[in-house]
Amino acid sequence: MPSAHKTGTLYLIPVTLGESAIDFVIPPEVKKIIHSLDEFIVENEKSARQFLKACSTPVPQSQFLFHVIEKHNPVQENKLFFQSLLQGKNIGLMSEAGVPAVADPGAAIVKMAHEQKIKVVPLTGPSSILLALMASGLNGQQFCFHGYLPIEKQERMATIKKIEKESAQKNQTQLFIETPYRNNQLLADLVNSCAGSTLLCVATDISLITEKITTQRISDWKKSSVDLHKKPTVFLLLSK
Amino acid sequence: MPSAHKTGTLYLIPVTLGESAIDFVIPPEVKKIIHSLDEFIVENEKSARQFLKACSTPVPQSQFLFHVIEKHNPVQENKLFFQSLLQGKNIGLMSEAGVPAVADPGAAIVKMAHEQKIKVVPLTGPSSILLALMASGLNGQQFCFHGYLPIEKQERMATIKKIEKESAQKNQTQLFIETPYRNNQLLADLVNSCAGSTLLCVATDISLITEKITTQRISDWKKSSVDLHKKPTVFLLLSK
């Protein structure tokens, strides 16, 4: 990717989705790029250090420079993060899990990079949202990711109804997530709110040894017993 | 992933997005799984054979069995595809480019697999949609993929306006694609239809040596000259 830029490149570095082997989700050339870096903008320094260690990076841990994203005010706090990039050094952006800038605070950093005409290169790795969509068998031609649904009961039920209706109107797969300790409650709310014919995919522990992906009608979920407590899960819904 | 199933596993196999090195986008353990298979359900036999060759699979080409998806009637035609799976053999599902079952006809096959209680395992690889979203700097917490916009001019303009409005109302990144020889026309339509303050990311040749990803306001696109003709491109829009 030749460039007239004198600025560095911001590499978007995927990390594992939990305790999975690096070689199951990270391509060799991506690993090489990771090995070439010693400065990172990260969501979480501890998990970033663990990932780099698991990647067998040749850079000693003491030589890493980490900039931790201030989630609640990414733009104001993070201008200093770009000094090295503007001086021509390549640096990496890393999420706590999966690919950066999707369902995490990294997008604000990427936006700032574009504003400063810094080259952004996304690297291939695991995304629980994308892997869940692939494996769901639901519509992959039109889909919508909503992030977290509202916590408050009435509001949540109303949102589920609205999402289900939109899914039918637009033939659109609806994806959403929940804080893992509230997963069982969300599944119960879905089973209680949605039509029996609506398809629901529950994709748990994606890319891990315990991965479980089930797509069935709400009427079948009513008869199923499943424990999602504290397990990272993507929910996908399609109503016809 | 231990299982009580006696049926085989349907592996969802990602392929390159064009002429990119396998090692840039396919993890080593995914390659090992590919090497273990000799039967595939594919969107396009020719491109599947080329990819398997580039993967240095040990299986001779003459020993492969391919089932080609009938795009316009995937469900009726494809029941025979599952014979081996039901007899306990693992097989692979492959798209023409990128990951299967997203923006291609593969999802119908995955849905049938779930209906027959066949285990589905999604494997990590390149998705132009996901990579474009990561690299856009636009909202990765809420986003919507629309596939192709309508071709008819009036309808297309109306859809662009509707999508832009929804983006502002829901703070939602809107993603869409076009047949590559119509990309320049779509860009012109976007520039002519959207508000000057709307952010547009044009992500071209993702993961290839010619990759180019630019995010800027419509008012800046008005001043830009860019040729997207016949280059695979993802368009992303965010209006505030």
Whether A142 and B143 lie within 8 Å, measured CB to CB: no
Query: A residues 176-235 near B, CB within 8 Å?
Result: 201, 206-207, 209-211, 213-216
**A216 to chain B: which residues are within 8 Å by CB?**
114
Number of A:B CB contacts under 8 A? 169
Helix (H) or strand (E) segment spanning residue A120: strand A119-122
Cα–Cα dist A172/B135, whole Å:
24
What backbone torsions phi and psi does residue B112 show, to the nearest 5 degrees? Answer: -65, -35
> What pLDDT is stored for residue A75 in this prediction?
62
pLDDT tops 90 at residue A120: yes
Question: Confidence class of residue B240 from pLDDT cuts 50, 70 and 90?
Answer: confident
Of the candidates A170, A222, A169, A215, which has an alpha carbon nearest to the alpha carbon of residue A195? Answer: A222
Q: What is the pLDDT of residues A226-238, one digit of tens each?
A: 999 999 999 999 9
Q: What is the pLDDT of residues A180-209, one digit of tens each?
A: 999 999 999 999 999 999 999 999 999 999
Residues of chain A with pLDDT > 70, as a percent, come to 95
Give the list of residues 6+ apart from residue B30 with CB closer than 8 angstroms, or none.
A24, B13, B14, B123, B124, B125
Mean pLDDT of all residues in A93-99: 96
**B114 to chain A: which residues are within 8 Å by CB?**
137, 201, 214-216
> What pLDDT is stored for residue B75 in this prediction?
62
Q: Give how far B67 is from chain A: nearest CA, Å.
A: 18
Q: Give how far B61 is from chain A: nearest CA, Å.
A: 25
Chain mean pLDDT for chain B: 93
pLDDT tops 50 at residue A1: no
CB of A9 within 8 Å of any CB in chain B?
A: no
Of the candidates B208, B52, B37, B219, which has an alpha carbon nearest to the alpha carbon of residue B131? Answer: B208
Cα–Cα dist A36/A53, whole Å:
14
Determine which of B124, B197, B207 to mutate to test the interface with A (most A C-beta atoms within 10 Å). B124
Question: Confidence class of residue A2 from pLDDT cuts 50, 70 and 90?
Answer: very low
Determine which of B13, B120, B134, B177 to mutate to test the interface with A (most A C-beta atoms within 10 Å). B134
> What pLDDT is stored for residue B7 in this prediction?
93
A36 secondary structure, DSSP code: T
- Alpha-carbon torsion (A27, A30, A35, A39), positive or negative: negative
CA distances from B232 to A44, B25, B96, B181 (A): 34, 17, 13, 9
- Beta strand residue intervals within chain B, DSSP E: 9-13, 39-42, 65-68, 91-94, 119-122, 143-148, 173-177, 199-204, 212-217, 233-238
Mean pLDDT of all residues in B154-172: 96
Question: Confidence class of residue B1 from pLDDT cuts 50, 70 and 90?
Answer: very low
Read off the pTM: 0.95
Cα–Cα dist A50/A39, whole Å:
15
Q: What is the pLDDT of residues B44-99, one digit of tens each?
A: 999 999 999 999 999 999 999 999 988 776 565 667 889 999 999 999 999 999 99
Which of A1, A135, A142 is closest, CB to CB, to B211? A1
CB of A122 within 8 Å of any CB in chain B?
A: yes
Q: What is the ipTM of this complex?
A: 0.95
Q: What is the pLDDT of residues A151-185, one digit of tens each?
A: 999 999 999 999 999 999 999 999 999 999 999 99
Residues of chain A with pLDDT > 90, as a percent, come to 88
Chain mean pLDDT for chain A: 93
pLDDT tops 50 at residue A125: yes
Cα–Cα dist B211/B191, whole Å:
22
Helix (H) or strand (E) segment spanning residue A11: strand A9-13
Q: What is the pLDDT of residues A46-86, one digit of tens each?
A: 999 999 999 999 999 999 999 998 877 656 666 788 999 99
Q: What is the pLDDT of residues B87-143, one digit of tens each?
A: 999 999 999 999 999 988 899 999 999 999 999 999 999 999 999 999 999 999 999
